[in-house]
Homo-oligomer: A and B are copies of this chain.
């Protein structure tokens, strides 16, 4: 994937780090409690060389940190940083989408519950500050403060070429 489009879109920037089949599964596995190389490998079913590569990238990106927990030498564990932990929203969005569309309500393979009071999870909702739900129909897109020239161009010509359905 070229790097050109990562500069002007946060979705692309995120996908540039996490946009492959394995990387988010490694993060998920950390949320499930794995911290050792072999835990990740066994539970995800990923080849060792690929896991090794992905862990290096994730560490470079500041999503994991590598901690030496060896007793008589060096033995590593991999933990999520704050940056990594904040991916819980992304994972949860994917989990809830998969629950709904791949398995269907009532067939969820895995559930989260509050460890302290056993309460259930609320479905994620995208809302406006007024409290209204975000929909494709009520959403307008505009360049933000960090928009580059290409993004400005892009939005300047929006609404002209494509005929939106509702």
- Residues on A facing B (Cβ under 8 Å): 1-2, 4-5, 7-16, 18-22, 24-25, 28, 31-36, 39, 43-45, 69, 77, 79-80, 83, 85-103, 106-117, 119-122, 124-130, 132, 134-148, 151, 154, 158-159, 161-165
Contacts and interface: CB of A to CB of B under 8 A. Distances in A.
Given A107-B145, A112-B140, A128-B119, A98 B20 contact: no
Contacts of A24: 11, 15, 19
A134 B162 contact: no
A28 B31 CA distance: 26
Contacts of A128: 114, 117, 119-122
A92 B126 contact: yes
A45 to B, nearest CB: 5
Copies in the complex: 2
Given A28-B11, A97-B90, A120-B129, A138 B110 contact: no
Contacts of A33: 141, 158-159, 162, 164
Given A11-B25, A95-B11, A136-B80, A106 B145 contact: yes
B102 A13 contact: yes
Nearest to A80: B136
A126 to B, nearest CB: 5
Given A89-B124, A97-B86, A122-B129, A143 B13 contact: no
Contacts of A32: 141, 158
A160 to B, nearest CB: 10
- A7, A35, A80, A122: residue with the most chain B Cβ atoms closer than 10 Å: A122
